């Protein structure tokens, strides 16, 4: 159980709309009055009044206190239940008189002299005698320069707030007075949440201190009447109200409200969630100016909603836009003082509420506000059921890394009473260094504008992320106030500065490259500059630029006679060879576009590609004829038919192709199982190659290795980038790209300077001896799949070359973003970088609006790099290549990649995977790369890939395929335990050890070739506890968890346990054996492991 309180902020104890219903429509007025009448009937007619408890009665904790007590015990390192209130005093203040006032209020109210201990395994309240004096620490800063006083006071108060309380010894409140000036004082009161809430601070503590100060300063006695009811009386009374029928109405409501699969808010923080809640906290403060809030106030009044409801509606809308989730639960707080007899009792009454908001159907903001208004009012009308009972009833599977129902809260300070003259107060001015939730926002609407504080966990959020969120909330709130009938998907969220940065500044890629030349024409110019320089090498064969150009010209003239010209597709089915280079260049010179057909493909796939492309001419090699399916294409064996081809002219043919004409068509896998051809044009690939030369600068000293299958678009720059720059193209033998040893020897022998790897193949190369000897290597280009931090680390550990990470789909000219990797870096991932020249990159939501920094969206590509579209697939082309809403250029388009990405704060882009293959297990969105990264940290793991399998219908599970180092001794169970120490339980996969990761011809992971994992044996085994300690633990667990039996290998949280129940186990162990274990130990150890730890403690004792 996790308690989410701060200084008791009421969301709707007395809402604006409840006080004045005359302006509401009849239906809304009846709804509100009915709900509030039901709440009053529930609290006053069916439940008896609170009366003083019998003398000498043991005082239990209230259910609200119990949540705090249990939760505080789960993380003792951070005093996140220390709450500091700043009381501002304008006017004279005597420390002696104030000290007397403090002593009197502590005497009057038992709760402020209460401590807590365990009796018979249960926590109880101990009411201590009134103290004779109350300690008051005083600091005088009035002599400091005015500019230093506030900072100094804040530092002193922060130190005071972070000193932990001992709940067993007390006192659980302390006072620190700072004199800022002659008539300016700050009283910092720090309370433990067990004895205090915000209404206590404002309506009881402050009023009594002010009244007593006036009286004692004038030499008068206390005018305050003695309290009739104490907090202990409330706690005793509350425990008598736990019969099932007492809150039947409330239970029924919350059962319906929280029915079905509860959503887990998938805030894309960019941080891996800690295994356990760390509760570290930092505070960011903000202001919504009245100019922004004015229209919102008007809207709220018009719709009969409180400001809190409207702010909550906007707050939730931003979360909806961030996550894409239509079902979101946000935490709110009820004051918990529904009864008049609790209003004057100091202590902790706050009751959290799970506010579930429905955003489905893309409603207008007005519709969302009405949904929120109804939901909040109904929740308030059923708010008396203690939150612990709600959680128990929902039976949500516990996750020790987060709260069971929500991770984010929005609350508001009380605002319905005036402060005593000369006094004011503020919450969250002082940070205790802790946080109860991922994000806790508190609003103060007591003046002009709205002031807020956001307490966030820095282990999960960056301060800049939280600051941006507040900015988006402000922007959307302002827009909603002015135009509430706009659909929420269309409400602006980005500030103008952000929008300009994302759309304009980060896409300022314009370069004046040559736009009127075709690809082969650039090569022809290079031939004139370096005719006798080696152009290409294959095994023992070599051609100069002049010789390569002449052969390509002869083939081009021959193809012209076969009516090959602009927009003619020519098939090429060849193994890597000089003939392949000649063929590709010859087709371009003839004016046509080449279609690569990998001879390693199955004959049926080749047939589909030939039938779809309908190439009139097919170039091949004689020994491959038997691999080709029957087709209507005219076959030319470039090797055996060369004698005839060589009769053609060696001079350049007249140029007939233009930059807008097709240059190549590459087939990619289709979701229907049928490959689809992507047609790209000269201007796109020319821009891509000119950018690459601009960025990396090949010279005639460079030697580029061509090893990528030509059915993969990376091969295009391998073929043609060196040929437009005077470098030498070295061709790997057929199949050589799969052999790391061969590649290593080839790099060394041919003094390769530049080459490409998909990351998985680079990983394999890094395992081969001899890389250090390849001193010629200057740059390695990675693309094709995500480059992991681990591969980057291993690369720089063994190689001094540059490493570049590029990204691009076949539907654009090879790559569209670039990133230079750094050996020394502080980034948690390897980005794909920024757009290349004359390309625009946008990360958009489903409504084509740019998403904020850090928020995932679909990556869209614009600019000159785009392919023309899909061959013979006009519907698919229209679906994927859409009009560019951000460009004024006629006919400008965007390509929808289907890839999930997000902007980093520096403008670089992080690739997150495929949108249509997102991993979600048991409601948790999981980044497989996180698991892979942790696996790579294990010293025995050489390589690993994690996928989701569903071998049985509905049984989706994570499976990690790992390749271990040769000679390694670590078992799968050891690696699994390693993962359990670093990842939440729902992210620990089934492990399958294999000799090597299978890859496709393009070097990517071949998922179909991965073996089906066997069921882990221990999943169905049960081992009975045997000795006395094991049996005692099993008895405690079965009792606490309400299960029939517990085995040695069972985990407490896996059986349905949560932090509240864990504290019960801890308390019973302490009571029965005087053993002290940490509650979070139950999250990671089996019963047998806990028993062993207990036995070790007993033995040491």
Chain segment 152-192, per-residue pLDDT in tens: 999 999 999 999 999 999 899 999 999 999 999 999 999 99
Beta bridge partners of 993: 962
What architecture is domain 61-237?
A: 2-Layer Sandwich (3.30)
645-700 pLDDT, tens digit each: 999 999 999 999 999 999 999 998 654 547 789 999 999 999 999 999 999 999 99
Residue 955 banded pLDDT, cuts 50, 70, 90: low
- Quick one: average pLDDT of 543-563? 98
The region of weakest confidence among 257-266, 711-720, 750-759 is 257-266
Check whether 980 has a pLDDT greater than 80. Answer: no
Question: Measured in Å, how far apart are the chain's first and last C-alpha atoms?
Answer: 31
Pick the residue with more confidence: 691 or 1079? Answer: 691
Check whether 865 has a pLDDT greater than 80. Answer: yes
The region of weakest confidence among 25-29, 941-945, 1053-1057 is 25-29
Q: Running DSSP on this structure, what letter comes out for residue 602?
A: -
Beta bridge partners of 1007: none
38-76 pLDDT, tens digit each: 444 444 455 788 999 998 889 999 999 998 888 787 666
Q: Which residues of 706-737 are buried (b: 16+ CB within 10 A; e: fewer)?
A: bbbbbbbbbbbbbbbbbbbbbbbbbbbeeeeb
Provide the whole-model pTM.
Answer: 0.82
Check whether 601 has a pLDDT greater than 90. Answer: no
Pick the residue with more confidence: 1002 or 144? Answer: 144
Q: Which CATH number fits domain 1028-1100: 3.10.129.10, 1.20.1630.10, 1.10.1200.10, 2.40.37.20?
A: 1.10.1200.10
CA distance 874 to 893: 15
The answer to whether residues 17 and 303 touch, using CB atoms and an 8 Å cutoff, is no
Which DSSP string corresponds to 59-81?
EEPPHHHHHHHHHHHH-TTS-TT
- pLDDT at residue 937, rounded to an integer: 84
CA distance 620 to 606: 13
- pLDDT at residue 19, rounded to an integer: 38
In terms of Cα–Cα distance, which of 8, 136, 122 is closest to 61? 122
Among 258-272, 372-386, 541-555, 1005-1019, the range of highest mean pLDDT:
541-555
Check whether 733 has a pLDDT greater than 70. Answer: yes
The answer to whether residues 388 and 395 touch, using CB atoms and an 8 Å cutoff, is no
Q: Does domain 1-22+281-338+357-414+439-491 have CATH number 3.60.20.10?
A: no
* Structural domain boundaries in the chain: 1-22+281-338+357-414+439-491, 61-237, 520-657, 919-1019, 1028-1100
Q: Does domain 520-657 have CATH number 1.20.190.20?
A: no
Mean pLDDT of the chain: 87
Which DSSP string corresponds to 303-339?
HT--HHHHHHHHHHHHHHHHH--SEEEEEEEE-S--S
Alpha carbon 1064 to chain centroid, angstroms: 33
- pLDDT at residue 9, rounded to an integer: 38
CA distance 232 to 59: 6
Backbone CA torsion sign across 738, 744, 745, 751: positive
280-330 pLDDT, tens digit each: 889 999 999 999 999 999 999 999 999 999 999 999 999 999 999 999 999
- Quick one: average pLDDT of 842-846? 96
Do the two domains 520-657 and 919-1019 of this chain adopt the same fold? no
Residue 1001 banded pLDDT, cuts 50, 70, 90: low
The answer to whether residues 395 and 31 touch, using CB atoms and an 8 Å cutoff, is no
In terms of Cα–Cα distance, which of 1061, 948, 978, 1056 is closest to 399? 1056
The answer to whether residues 584 and 594 touch, using CB atoms and an 8 Å cutoff, is yes
**Helix 789-798 vs helix 928-937: angle between axes, to the nearest 10 degrees?**
40
Q: Running DSSP on this structure, what letter comes out for residue 989?
A: P
Give the whole-number percent of the chain exceeding pLDDT 70: 90
- The CATH class given to the 919-1019 domain equals alpha beta
Check whether 271 has a pLDDT greater than 90. Answer: no
Check whether 812 has a pLDDT greater than 90. Answer: yes
The answer to whether residues 604 and 650 touch, using CB atoms and an 8 Å cutoff, is no
Residue 1020 banded pLDDT, cuts 50, 70, 90: very low
Helix ranges (DSSP H) in 708-774: 714-720, 740-749, 759-765
The region of weakest confidence among 36-50, 224-238, 723-737 is 36-50
The region of weakest confidence among 237-251, 719-733, 856-870 is 237-251
CA distance 354 to 379: 8
Residue 927 banded pLDDT, cuts 50, 70, 90: low
418-473 pLDDT, tens digit each: 889 999 888 767 888 888 889 999 998 887 899 999 999 998 888 999 999 999 99
The region of weakest confidence among 102-111, 777-786, 970-979 is 970-979
């Amino acid at each position: 159980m996790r308690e989410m309180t701060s200084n008791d902020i009421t969301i709707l104890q007395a809402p604006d709309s409840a006080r004045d219903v005359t302006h509401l429509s009849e239906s809304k007025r009846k709804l509100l009055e009915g709900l509030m009448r039901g709440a009053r009937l529930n609290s006053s007619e069916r439940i008896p009044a609170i009366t003083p408890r019998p003398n000498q009665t043991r005082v239990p904790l209230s259910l609200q206190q119990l949540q705090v007590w249990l939760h505080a015990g789960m993380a003792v390192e951070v005093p996140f239940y220390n709450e500091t209130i700043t009381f501002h005093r304008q006017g004279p203040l005597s420390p002696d008189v104030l000290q007397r006032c403090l002593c009197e209020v502590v005497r009057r109210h038992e709760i402020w002299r209460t401590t807590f201990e365990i009796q018979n395994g249960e926590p109880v309240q101990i009411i201590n005698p009134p103290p004779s004096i109350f300690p008051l620490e005083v600091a005088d800063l009035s002599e400091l320069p005015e500019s230093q006083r506030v900072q100094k006071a804040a530092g002193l108060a922060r130190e005071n707030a972070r000193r932990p309380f001992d709940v067993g010894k007390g006192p659980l409140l302390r006072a620190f007075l700072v004199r800022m000036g002659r008539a300016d004082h700050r009283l910092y009161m720090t309370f433990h949440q067990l004895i205090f809430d915000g209404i206590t601070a404002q309506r009881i503590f402050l009023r009594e201190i002010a009244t007593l100060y006036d009286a004692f300063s004038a030499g008068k006695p206390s005018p305050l009447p003695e309290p009739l009811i104490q907090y202990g009386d409330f706690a005793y009374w509350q425990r008598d109200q736990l019969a099932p029928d007492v809150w039947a109405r409330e239970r029924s409501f919350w059962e319906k409200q929280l029915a079905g699969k509860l959503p887990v808010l998938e805030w894309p923080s960019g941080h891996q969630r800690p295994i356990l809640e760390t509760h570290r906290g930092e505070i960011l403060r903000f202001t919504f100016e009245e100019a922004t809030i004015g229209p919102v106030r008007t809207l709220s009044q018009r719709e009969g909603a409180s400001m809190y409801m409207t702010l909550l509606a906007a707050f939730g809308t931003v979360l909806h836009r961030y996550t894409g989730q239509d079902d979101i639960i946000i935490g709110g707080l009820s004051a918990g003082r529904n009864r008049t007899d609790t209003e004057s009792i100091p202590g902790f009454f706050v009751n959290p509420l799970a506010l579930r908001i429905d955003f489905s159907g893309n409603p207008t903001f007005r519709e969302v506000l009405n949904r929120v208004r109804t939901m909040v009012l109904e929740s308030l009308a059923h708010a008396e059921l203690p939150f612990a009972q709600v959680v128990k009833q929902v039976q949500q599977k516990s996750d020790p890394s987060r709260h069971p129902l929500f991770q984010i809260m929005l609350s508001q300070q009380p605002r319905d009473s005036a402060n005593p003259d000369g006094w004011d107060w503020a919450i969250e001015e002082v940070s205790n260094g802790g946080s109860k939730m991922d994000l806790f926002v508190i609003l103060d609407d007591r003046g002009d504008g709205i002031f807020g504080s956001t307490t966030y966990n820095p282990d999960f959020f960056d301060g800049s992320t939280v600051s941006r969120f507040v900015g988006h909330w402000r922007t959307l709130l302002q827009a909603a106030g002015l135009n509430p009938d706009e659909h929420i998907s269309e409400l602006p969220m980005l500030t103008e500065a952000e929008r300009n940065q994302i759309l304009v500044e980060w896409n300022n890629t314009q370069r004046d490259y040559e736009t009127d030349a075709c690809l082969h024409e650039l090569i022809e110019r290079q031939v004139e500059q370096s005719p006798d320089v080696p152009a290409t090498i294959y095994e023992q064969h070599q051609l100069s630029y002049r010789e390569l150009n002449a052969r390509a010209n002869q083939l081009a003239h021959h193809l012209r006679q076969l009516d090959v010209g602009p927009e003619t597709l020519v098939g090429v089915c060849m193994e890597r060879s000089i003939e392949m280079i000649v063929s590709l260049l010859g087709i371009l010179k003839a004016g046509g576009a080449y279609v690569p057909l990998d001879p390693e493909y199955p004959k049926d796939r080749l047939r589909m590609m030939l039938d779809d492309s309908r190439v009139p001419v097919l170039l091949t090699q004689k020994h491959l004829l038997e691999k080709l399916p029957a087709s209507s294409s005219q076959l030319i064996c470039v090797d055996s038919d060369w004698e005839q081809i060589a009769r053609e002219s060696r001079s350049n043919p007249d140029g007939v192709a233009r930059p807008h004409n097709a240059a190549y068509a590459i087939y990619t896998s289709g979701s229907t199982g049928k490959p689809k051809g992507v047609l790209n044009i000269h201007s796109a690939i020319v821009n891509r190659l000119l950018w690459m030369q601009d960025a990396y600068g090949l010279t005639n000293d460079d030697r580029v290795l061509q090893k990528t299958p030509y059915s993969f678009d990376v091969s295009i720059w391998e073929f043609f980038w060196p040929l437009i720059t005077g470098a030498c193209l070295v061709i790997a033998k057929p199949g050589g790209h799969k052999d790391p040893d061969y590649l290593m020897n080839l790099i060394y022998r041919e003094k390769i300077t530049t080459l490409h790897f998909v990351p998985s193949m680079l990983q394999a190369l890094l395992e081969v001896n001899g890389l250090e000897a390849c001193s010629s290597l200057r740059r390695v280009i990675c693309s094709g799949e995500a480059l992991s931090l681990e591969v980057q680390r291993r690369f720089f550990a063994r190689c001094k070359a540059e490493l570049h990470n590029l990204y691009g789909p076949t539907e654009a000219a090879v790559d569209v973003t670039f990133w230079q990797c750094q050996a020394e870096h502080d980034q948690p991932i390897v980005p794909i970088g920024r757009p290349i020249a004359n390309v625009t990159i946008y990360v958009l939501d489903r409504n084509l609006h740019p998403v904020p920094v850090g928020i995932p969206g679909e990556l869209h590509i614009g600019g000159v790099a785009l392919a023309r579209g899909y061959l013979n697939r006009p519907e698919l082309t229209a679906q994927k290549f859409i009009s560019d809403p951000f460009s004024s250029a006629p006919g400008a388009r965007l390509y929808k990649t289907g890839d999930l990405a997000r902007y980093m704060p520096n403008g670089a882009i992080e690739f997150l995977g495929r949108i249509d293959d997102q991993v979600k297990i048991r409601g948790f969105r999981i980044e497989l790369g996180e698991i892979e990264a942790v696996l790579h940290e294990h010293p025995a793991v050489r390589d690993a890939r994690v996928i989701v399998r569903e071998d049985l219908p509905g049984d989706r599970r994570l499976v990690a395929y790992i390749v271990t180092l040769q000679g390694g001794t670590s078992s799968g169970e050891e690696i699994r335990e390693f993962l359990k120490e670093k990842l939440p339980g729902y992210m620990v996969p089934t492990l399958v050890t294999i000799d090597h990761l299978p890859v496709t011809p393009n070097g990517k992971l071949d998922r179909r070739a991965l073996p089906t994992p066997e069921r882990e044996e221990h999943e169905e085994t049960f081992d009975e506890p045997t000795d006395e300690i094991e049996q005692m633990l099993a008895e405690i667990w079965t009792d606490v968890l309400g299960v029939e039996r517990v085995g040695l290998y069972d985990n407490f949280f896996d059986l349905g346990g949560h932090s509240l129940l864990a504290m019960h186990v801890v308390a019973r162990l302490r009571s029965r054996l005087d053993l002290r274990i940490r509650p979070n130990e139950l999250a990671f150890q089996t019963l047998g492991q806990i028993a062993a730890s207990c036995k070790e403690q007993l033995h040491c004792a």
